[in-house]
Amino acid sequence: MIDQAHRAARAGQEMLQASGDVIARRLEIVAEAVRDPLKADLREISLMGSEKVEALTASASAGLNGAMSLAATTAAVAARETAAAQTALGSVLKAGSPAEAALAQGSWMTAAMGRAVSDGWAFGAAMMKLQSETLAPIHAAAVANAKRLKR
């Protein structure tokens, strides 16, 4: 997960640098178009909007798909934990002594805490993956534009 966080941070930094370069160059293109409209780079000016829409649409799609996957995983975990709690309650109710009931309850609690830690790490990793997948289309567009517009 740390490697993924590092890659996501690096991609974010690259995207910010590339975006700054692209904005600076495109401002020059717009200024040139204002000075001499007949020589305006209409292709580049038209890309200023369409590329954003395309990248943001791909990013939103990745985010939605990831969020749906996380919701399904969360529902599965909730169902699993509900079943485990029901099983533990049944064991407590069937216990032959208070010590046996406490042991059943303690076993459930220990297992539940272990699953909670494991699920927490898995959820964190899934969120890092979702962040990377959501950022990827915007990062790709910004970096490609920076390379293309570099003088």
What is the torsional sign of CA 18, 21, 23, 25? negative
Other C-beta atoms closer than 10 Å to the C-beta of 100 total 13
User: How many structural domains is the chain composed of?
Assistant: 1
Side chain identity at 84, as an amino acid letter? A
pLDDT in tens, the chain (151 residues): 778 888 888 999 999 999 999 999 999 999 999 999 999 999 999 998 899 999 999 999 999 999 999 999 999 999 999 999 999 999 999 999 999 999 999 999 999 999 999 999 999 999 999 999 999 999 999 999 999 998 6
Other C-beta atoms closer than 10 Å to the C-beta of 99 total 9
Distance of CA 50 to the CA centre of its chain: 23
Contacts of 74 (CB under 8 A, 6+ apart): 123
Domain coverage including residue 91 = 2-149
Q: Please state, in angstroms and rounded to a whole number, the distance separating the CA atoms of residues 42 and 48.
A: 10
